[in-house]
Structure formats: structure tokens, C-alpha cells
Amino acid sequence: MGGSNENNPGLFLPLNLQEGPRMRGSKFVKDMGLNQRRALASINQNVVGAAHFPCVVNKRDSSEEMAAEMFSNKQQCYEETRKSKDCTVIEVEERLKWRMQRTQLWILDCGDLKDTLAVVEYIDDIYAYYKKTESSGCVSPTYMDRQFDINEKMRAILIDWLIEVHYKFELMDETLFLAINLIDRFLERCTVVRKKLQLVGVTAMLLACKYEEVSVPLVEDFVLISDNAYTRIEVLDMEKLMVNTLQFKMSVPTPYMFMKRFLKAALSDKKLELLSFFIIEVCLVEYEMLRFPPSLLAAAAIYTAQCSLYQFKQWSKTSEWHTSYTEDQLLECSRMMVSFHQKAGYGKLTGVHRKYSTSKFGYAAKAEPALFLLGGL
């Protein structure tokens, strides 16, 4: 920590599970050395000039050409299928439906054809897999009933504090969502006493950092930010217990994964993106939101943010297509989000509201909640 005044342990207080978190002082970020990884461009020079193989996927030169070809092939596909004596009407319709699905997916990603990191060729399969396996990372919405020394309120205090820790360390968004998922899955499987709950939280954040971050904070950083409530050995012992309890299963779909895709389908701007993330981070604190799968939480957050910005119901056919959720399927979750949005700035757990009340996050927390969605209740 280099003896910096801003890293004085007195700035960070232990988590009080009865009164709520208190975090004060300057930004707590450890200066990390520059990463010495080679650029992808220099690595790719090793394969320049390699012979062409038929199995290599060739991208199209332009998105317009690709889209036009797919639409023009629709009628040809229909005619060829109709002429086949072995096909029924249902099979014809299924083939056309499949072709239109592929067309919709490619139209959304046609602007990324030259971006190798966008993996346009596989993106629809990736998200289909996320949707299929998202239940593996979900927990029972009643798991807290099996805990004898902690409750939903203590979980909310811990997560509200961790959101501030995540902000102080300037970590990636993926890290926060994974850390909270690790906490819930661990608490579902193991009973934890009250004085060890904060240890579970900082250890989950450490594990998520190791999985997602390039520059990982040191164990000592997490010990310090918890006001030396635990030792380095205790953190490492808890780390071993957590990964063994979870059987090293770290790759699970979180709401963040779906948020990026669904925001793209919604043609979002920065304002909508920030408000959507504010709403879903508010939901991370709420235990009762565990009953919704990650994909539904992400879709409902975007729908609620659109309603808040425009003050009328907004859910396009494109969004419905890519999320697989209709507006009616989102309403229950969205109404709960509106209630949380309405009270986010009040009470003791206001970490998310304070975070999104800054210029860095576009003052998203100051947006008017979509109260008209509650009118039917």
C-alpha cells in the first residue's frame, strides 16, 4: 500500500450487520503495475501467411450484402422445401421459422462482422447456451430459512457494502455480479455464523477478481478494507472452503451477461444503459429478487428503465425476440423494480443510489421511477 495516507486503515470500518455499512474517506485503490501482455496484433503475426483451409470461417465483406442475401434466400428456401415430397406443411414452416431467426440474429450483429472479439458466428449459440444453463447458477429463494444466525437483512447489508468496495477498487462489472452469485450459492450450501458473514463476502469478491480481473487486488487489500477483522490465513482458508463447496464451478450465467446482449437489442444509448444497471444493482441487494432467473432480471431491468425514461410502456418486437420475454412476462418483476427504485435513496442501505448519483454514472439514480406501472395494483 506504500504508506499512502489514503490507505490509512482508520478510513475503513468493520461491517456492522446490525446498523448497516459505513465507508468513508478517499478512494481505496491499490496501484498496480502495467500489464506486460503482448498485443493481439503482434501475436497474430505468427500466423500471417498461413495456408487457407476449407474449414476456416470466412466473414462477409459487408453487412448489407449478408442481410440482402439472407432475405433473398427466404423465398428460394420456401420454394425448394415446398417442392420436396418428403416435407409436410409443418416442416416447411419450421424451416422458414429457423431461417427468419437466423436472419434476425445476423441483422443485430451485422455491424460487428469485422470485430473478431464479437464472435458473430457463434453469438446466438452462446446465448442459447446461457439461457439453457442459467438455472444451474440460481439458488432457492428460501435458502435463508436454513440459516440459524443470519437473515435477509444481514445479506442486504453485506451486499450494499460490497457494492461500495467494488466501486472503491474500480473493478469490472462482471466481478460484482459473479461475487454476489458466489455468496448466495455458498450460503445455500453452508450455514454461516454472523461474525463470519463479512469474511464470506470479501472472499467471494477475491475469487471473482481472480476469475474476471486482469490486475487482482491483494489478499491484504481485502483484509485492510474489512478493518483487519480477519487475518490473511482466515481469508485463504475461507477461499479453499468456498471453491470446494461450489466444486470450482465459477462459470455461471449472471444477469450481467444477458444485460449486454439485451441492451444491444434495445438499441440503447448511454443513458438507458446506466439507468438499467442502476435498477438491476438495486435488485442485487434485495433477497426476494432471487426467485427470478438472471435473463428475466436483465430483460425486466431494461424494460423498467425504458418506461422510466419515456414514461410510457416501451418493449419492441426486437427486444421481445432476442430476450424471449413478452411484456406481460416482465410486468411482475418490473413492478417490484419500480418499488425498489422509488425507495432506493431512503433508509440505511443507499450504496447503489449514492454510486449512481455521481456524474460518472450520469446521475442515473435521479431519474423518475415509472410509477405508472404500479397503477394496476
Averaged pLDDT, 309-315? 90
* Lowest mean pLDDT segment, chosen from 5-9, 211-215, 220-224, 273-277: 5-9
Backbone angles phi, psi at 12, to 5 degrees: -120, 125
Q: How high is the pLDDT of residue 91?
A: 58
Q: How confident is the model at residue 69 (pLDDT cuts 50, 70, 90)?
A: low
Report the alpha-carbon distance of residue 190 to residue 203 in Å, rounded.
15
Q: For the segment 313-362, what is each residue's pLDDT rounded down to a tens digit?
A: 989 888 998 899 999 999 999 999 999 999 999 988 999 999 999 999 99
Calculate Rg over the CA atoms of the chain: 24
Q: How high is the pLDDT of residue 29?
A: 44
Report the alpha-carbon distance of residue 160 to residue 166 in Å, rounded.
10
Say which DSSP state 360 is in: G
Residue type, 248: F
Q: For the segment 151-168, what is each residue's pLDDT rounded down to a tens digit?
A: 999 999 999 999 999 999
Cell numbers found for residue 201:
463476502
Whether the pLDDT of residue 23 is over 80: the answer is: no
The length of the chain in residues reads 377
Report the alpha-carbon distance of residue 28 to residue 227 in Å, rounded.
13
Report the alpha-carbon distance of residue 158 to residue 198 in Å, rounded.
7
pTM comes to: 0.75
* Lowest mean pLDDT segment, chosen from 2-16, 292-306, 317-331: 2-16
Whether the pLDDT of residue 58 is over 60: the answer is: no
Crossing angle for the helix pair 270-285 and 294-310, to the nearest 10 degrees:
130
Averaged pLDDT, 271-280? 97
Report the alpha-carbon distance of residue 254 to residue 137 in Å, rounded.
8
Instruction: Please list, residue by residue across 251-283, b when 16 or more beta carbons sit within 10 angstroms of its beta carbon and e when fewer do.
Output: ebbbbbbbbebbbbbbebeeebbbbbbbbbbbb
